[in-house]
Chains A and B, each alone.
Chain A
Amino acid sequence: MPYPEEMVAPMRAELTDNGVEELRTADAVKQFLERNKDKSAMIVLNSVCGCAAGAARPGILLSLEGDKKPAAVGTVFAGNDTDAVAYVRSLVPQAPPSSPSVYMFKQGKPVAYVPRHVFEGGYPESVAEHLRNEYAKL
C-alpha cells in the first residue's frame, strides 16, 4: 500500500524544488535515461526513512553544488512510484532492494551505486563527500 501522497509530497519536493526531475513511472525513467544516454545521469531512490531526511536528501543536494556532478538527476519514490522503482532496481539486479539509494549512469549504463547503509547515521557533509567520490566515475 503506498504512503499517503500528502505525507510524501514534502519529501519529493525537497529534491524536485532543487532541480531534480520527478520520474513517477517506468516509462518516465526509460525516457529520462534515453534523453541522457550521451551524458551522465543519476537517479535518487527517495524514501520516507529517517536517513533519507537527515542524511541522503540534504547530502545529495549539497553534493550537487560542486563542479563535478551528473549532467541530469532524476528521482523515484520507494513505496509510491512502484513501477518506476522496480524498473530502476532491475537495471542493477545484483543490488538488493535498498532505500534510500542512488544509481549513477554513464552513457546509459550503470556505473555506480550507493546503498542505504552509506546514508545511515551519516551527515549531509559526509554523504556529499561520498557522492562526490562516486561522481569521479561519471
Chain B
Amino acid sequence: MGTFHSDKGALHGMTVVVKTTGKAVYIGRCDTQTPDGIFLNDADKHEEGQDGKSNAEYLQTAAQWGHWPRIKYISIPAREISEVTRLADLKQS
C-alpha cells in the first residue's frame, strides 16, 4: 500500500531492519531511502552480542513485540548497509 510521499522511497513510514556490513543492526521507521543511504526515525541499534543477545535473537524479539525507540533520528550511509527489509517480513521462529 503506497503513501502520500512518493519521493521518499517505497519504505517510507514502515518499520525496517537495516543490517550493516559491521556488527550493528538497526530497526526504525523509515523516513527516506535514497542511493546515499537511509534515514530512520524512532530507531534502535543492537550490536552482535550486546546484552548477551545475538543480532538474530534481538530481531526475533523485535518481530514479536516491536522495538524500543531509543534513537530519535539516525542516518545510515549506503556504504555501511548490507540489507534493508521490513520488520513485518521477518519470520517469527
Contacts and interface: CB of A to CB of B under 8 A. Distances in A.
B1 A96 contact: no
A83 interface: no
A87 interface: no
A122 B3 CA distance: 12
A123 B2 CA distance: 11
Interface residues of B, number: 15
Interface string A76-120: 000000000000000000111010010000000000010111101
Given A50-B3, A117-B14, A117-B15, A122 B68 contact: no
Contacts of A95: 65-66
B65 A120 contact: no
Contact of B68 (A50, A96, A117, A118): A96
B1 A117 contact: no
B1 A98 contact: no
B13 A117 contact: no
Interface residues of A, number: 18
A69 B77 CA distance: 45
Interface of A: 50-51, 54-55, 94-96, 98, 101, 113, 115-118, 120-123
Interface of B: 1, 3-4, 13-15, 64-69, 86-88
Given A96-B66, A120-B15, A120-B86, 19 more contacts: A50-B13, A51-B13, A55-B1, A94-B65, A95-B66, A96-B65, A96-B67, A96-B68, A96-B69, A98-B66, A115-B65, A115-B66, A116-B15, A117-B14, A117-B86, A117-B88, A120-B13, A121-B1, A121-B88
